[in-house]
Amino acid sequence: MKKIRIGIIGFGGIARGAHLPGYLECKEDAEITAVCDIDPAALQAAKERLNLSDSQLFEDYRDLLSSGLVDAVDICTPNYLHCPIAEAALEAGLPFSVEKPLGMNYAETKALITHAEEKGLPAFICFSWRYRLYTRYLKALIDRGSVGKIYHIYIRCIKNSGLWEGRPLEWRFEKDKGGSGVLGDLGSHMIDITRFWGEEFDEVAADCGIIIPERPRIGSGEIAPVTTDDWCNLIGRTRTGVNVTINVSRCATTIGDLIEFELFGENGHLKYTYRDGQQDIEICCGKTDMEAGGTHHITPPAKYDANQSRSFINLLQGKKDSYTAELIQGVECQKVLDAALRSIELKRTVKISEIEEGL
């Protein structure tokens, strides 16, 4: 079968660190035949790592889309460009994969999915946590009723990446480019994981704040304000009545990377911990601590591991599975992000239906 030709738009951290290795594992089915970035250094890096010629490198995504060199595109740019580039890809008749969060607000994501449905083109969103071994296995444990009916979901995703010495005012620290800070960056994954486990949000209340209020601009070094959240706490209720608590931060002193998912259900308790590369699942079964037969540590079977890029290629080949994150997952997540931002603004609980109805 002919290989699918992929064009990457935005060759920064996530494209180089995650997408590129993912595609290289699918060499028999896909190849990267064009790259676009506004930064000449990024294009040079793409040229060297992928052995591309100058005619395969673009500074304007519109030129890549009309080049005839690609069958699909992978959008890895800052958030504010996701929907405009995806819209342009659809106009060019090209399917796409896009990084999370899908857009800057629900209205633009709704317009995008309507357009994609009209065109009938496959569209994928990079909720990368869905492809992780431990998260997938947790889903299997939940689906097979290991903890029974869920009572509580407690999630913490905290890092110290906002505290790195001298970190400049990257796009993610500016509201007009990021939309939000850790809410959209880390919170979107946590919202999606909750949905991946089968729970749909009905309402949320949130609070957020900025800890490092200003940073030097890239290039000029001029000190400018940070306008996106460094931390966000979200409490939600799902349609089945499960209460969900999500804490995200990029200012967790001394913590490189900590993720905890804790679920309590009628039959017991499941806990996943990721700390600086080390992972563990604990399960404790029983209705009370007296009844529980102790805590067991589980290593997931390797078959639960997956590759996000492979899932995108599968979608393009018409072989999606029930775990695949298509555009609708990005739209559903965006509703919750919008509701959280509205809650922060209005200082009250916001129903997801208010966002859907544009109230």
Ligand X SMILES: NC(=O)c1ccc[n+]([C@@H]2O[C@H](COP(=O)([O-])OP(=O)(O)OC[C@H]3O[C@@H](n4cnc5c(N)ncnc54)[C@H](O)[C@@H]3O)[C@@H](O)[C@H]2O)c1
Residues that bind ligand X (CB under 6 A): 9-15, 36-39, 42, 61, 76-79, 81, 99-100, 126, 128, 185
Q: How far is the CB of 258 from ligand X (least distance, A)?
A: 15
Q: How far is the CB of 34 from ligand X (least distance, A)?
A: 12
Cβ nearer to ligand X, comparing 159 with 271 = 159
Phi then psi dihedrals of residue 290, to 5 deg: -70, -35
Q: How far is CA 238 from CA 107, 109, 351, in A?
A: 22, 22, 10
113 contacts 230 by C-beta, under 8 angstroms: no
Cβ nearer to ligand X, comparing 15 with 150 = 15
Cβ nearer to ligand X, comparing 203 with 230 = 230
Cβ nearer to ligand X, comparing 104 with 283 = 104
Residue of 33, 98, 27, 24 whose CA lies nearest to 64: 33
64 contacts 58 by C-beta, under 8 angstroms: yes
Q: How far is the CB of 348 from ligand X (least distance, A)?
A: 28
Q: How far is the CB of 29 from ligand X (least distance, A)?
A: 21
* C-alpha span between 155 and 239 (Å, rounded): 18
Q: How far is the CB of 60 from ligand X (least distance, A)?
A: 7
Q: How far is the CB of 209 from ligand X (least distance, A)?
A: 20
- Please give the distance of CA 251 from its chain centroid, rounded to a whole number: 19
Q: How far apart are the first and last CA of the chain?
A: 49
Cβ nearer to ligand X, comparing 79 with 135 = 79
Cβ nearer to ligand X, comparing 99 with 199 = 99
Contacts with 15 (C-beta within 8 Å, 6 or more apart), sequence order: 8, 74, 76
Q: How far is the CB of 203 from ligand X (least distance, A)?
A: 25
194 contacts 153 by C-beta, under 8 angstroms: yes
* C-alpha span between 296 and 189 (Å, rounded): 27
201 contacts 194 by C-beta, under 8 angstroms: yes
Please state whether 26 falls in left (phi above 0), alpha (psi between -120 and 50) or beta.
alpha
Cβ nearer to ligand X, comparing 88 with 350 = 88
Cβ nearer to ligand X, comparing 128 with 343 = 128
Sheet holding 231-238, edge to edge: 295-298, 278-285, 268-275, 257-265, 150-159, 243-249, 231-238, 201-209, 350-351
